[in-house]
Structure 1
Amino acid sequence: MKKLILLICLFLLSTLITAQSAEKDLIKKTEDAAKTIDDTIKNGWKSKGKVTFLFNQASFNNWIAGGENSFSGNLGLDYKIDYKKDDYTWENRILASYGLLQTQNSSFEKKTDDQLEINSIVAKKTKSYWYYSFLVNFRSQFTRGFLYDKDVNGAEIREENTKFMSPGYLLVGPGMYWKKNENFKINLAPLTSKFTFVNSRYTSIPGYVDGSYFGVDANKSMLYQLGFNATAYYKFNIMENVSAENLLNLYSNYLEKPQNIDINYSLIILMKINKVLSANFNFQAIYDDDAFAGFQTKEVFGVALNYNF
């Protein structure tokens, strides 16, 4: 009996070792295949893009429980254009979105989304998955943003607070780029210059306190920072026709409060119905104590019409 148990244990151990060895071999072959595909990509330009219209509507008629008629629409653009020449690559991505909400009892249309972001990385391959790189990242918005309140009579009022290039962010810096494949990339830039641009109109308001408007001092229109920047991109399939795309940006300013790390994280979940229709969930979380002492979050969910080109 003891011999039988021993033989069973030895068999299970042998099976486990063989399975682990086969798994490691499969992982290595998969990585080698991905590297081979990357090395054989043709030189020249390639591009792809997608336009998305996401909408949501609510309508009530004699609805005793109460409710307010509303309609919201969000138009988005995701465009990638890349160039390759032997060991050199130039990757560019434009993300743009704009959304409005109109409710029956509101005096104003309100923005649900307003984003313009351009990412560009020039890289030269070294060994394995590593590249020397130079990063350029630009972020701003398209139109004016407002703070909403009520006047003494209870009427809705608003005050302009932001606009295009107020704020506007520009990050530039050299670094190292690790790219396993198109779905998993990391860029580390230890000497990144960050410029925050604003309209001096907002920093010239009487009673304005230095640094209270996106970190920019009174009567100034720009803030310069030097620090460490890390960006990561990871996309995977949750299940068939359902994908999750993660974008993370971290920044630490060497010149002031380096422990206060700026965080910009985006999650895009795409639930594909067919070539044209999908259900989209977009989530964004930002921590930047120059703008607000806490997390800013944004969530957009709805049915979308998609056009790929």
Structure 2
Amino acid sequence: MRRLLLLLLVLFSTSFYAQKKKKDTLPIPKWKINGKFSFVFNQSSFSNWSSGGENTVAGNLTVDYNFNYKKDNVNWDTRMITGYGISHFSEKGHRKTIDRFELNSLFGYKTSNYWFFSFLGNLKSQYSKGYNYTNEPKLVVSDFFSPAYLTFGPGMLWKRSDRLNINIAPSTARYTFVNDDFSGEFGVDEDSNTAFSLGFNLSGLYKFTLMDNIEMENILTMYSDYLNDVGNVDVDYQTNISFKVNKSIKMQMTFQTVIDDNASSSVQFREMFGLGLNYNFHQKVTY
């Protein structure tokens, strides 16, 4: 039921803010490359503060790299999103705030106006150990490339524009990798480092302008395994809202919901808000 409600909310939001297609008077670029990084720094300090408080220093660095290729009937979109953030509490030491590496590649061959034969590839993991701090002593719950997810498979892509697309892949393979310390977790059997699944994958992207200098991006991935726990659906839904102050300064809000019974029995939520520096380190358009 939670998964159904989440999907209905996504579909409602995308239909409510649907935009009309604009005629493009310029030739279609063959290559569009855009690489940007952002850095958010937060600091708080207290001294004899009557209501209390804890001194903290935090910094987050994220990189978003996009490669888009179009020629004749070929469409190939690749995106790398990676980030790492850490905070220091005066009494508790260092803790992670962001730890993410994700590489997406979607190849399409056009069959009609908006439809493509497609092939999807996705690699998702993290860089360092993660801890559950509710345990004493703290408990290691993840590590570098543990878990890591490799997903790939053929399908059909409906692409209205670079800002709106849905990919349907009914025969998608997924490998889950863990090291020896996590054997038996994340859906991997005991005495094994990998798990294989075959299932249905639905992924979509919708990016639009809410108002001047405010942009909203919705990313949805749904996966159902045919081989294990048929009917159970993993959901990963992320919303990014960017508020542009000027060319170099943006305010970013991120909301992410993950439902994955192999990783956690509870619904996972992540929310981030920050104001920081943005820089385009690689921007190129080739006709």
TM-score by length of 2: 0.87
Tell me the equivalent position of 1:177: 157
Q: 1:104 aligns with which of 76, 87, 90?
A: 90
Give, as a single letter, the amino acid of the residue that structure 1 aligns with 2:201.
N
Alignment pair present for 1:80 and 2:80: no
> What are the superposed Cα offsets for residues 251-271 of structure 1, whole Å, 9 maximum, x if unpaired?
000112222100011111101
Tell me the equivalent position of 2:265: 293
> What are the superposed Cα offsets for residues 54-81 of structure 1, whole Å, 9 maximum, x if unpaired?
1222111110111111111110000001
Tell me the equivalent position of 1:33: 23
Q: 2:167 aligns with which of 160, 173, 187?
A: 187
Local SS of the residue matching 2:231: coil
Tell me the equivalent position of 1:119: 104
Identity of paired residues, percent?
Answer: 42
> What are the superposed Cα offsets for residues 202-255 of structure 1, whole Å, 9 maximum, x if unpaired?
22xxxxxx5xx1111111101111000000100111111011100000000011
| Structure with more of its chain in helix, by fraction | 1
Tell me the equivalent position of 1:305: 277
Alignment pair present for 1:53 and 2:33: no
Number of residues of Structure 1 aligned to a counterpart in Structure 2: 264
Alpha-carbon offset, residue 182 of structure 1: 1.2
Tell me the equivalent position of 2:196: 224
Tell me the equivalent position of 2:12: none
TM-score by length of 1: 0.81
Moved over 3 A (4+): none
Alpha-carbon offset, residue 86 of structure 1: 1.6
Using a 3 Å threshold, how does the CA distance of structure 1 residues 161 and 150 change in structure 2: closer, same or farther?
A: closer
Q: What residue ranges of structure 2 are gaps of 5+ in the alignment? A: 1-17, 282-287
Tell me the equivalent position of 2:207: 235
Q: 2:116 aligns with which of 105, 110, 131?
A: 131
> What are the superposed Cα offsets for residues 166-220 of structure 1, whole Å, 9 maximum, x if unpaired?
00001100000111011111100000001111112222xxxxxx5xx11111111
Superposed counterparts of 1:202-217, under 5 Å: 202-203=182-183, 210=184, 213-217=185-189
Tell me the equivalent position of 1:4: none
- Structure of greater relative contact order (alpha carbons < 8 Å, 6+ residues apart): 2
Alignment pair present for 1:147 and 2:137: no
The higher radius of gyration belongs to 1
Tell me the equivalent position of 1:21: none
Q: What residue ranges of structure 1 are gaps of 5+ in the alignment? A: 1-26, 152-156, 204-209
Q: CA RMSD in A?
A: 1.8
Alpha-carbon offset, residue 123 of structure 1: 0.7
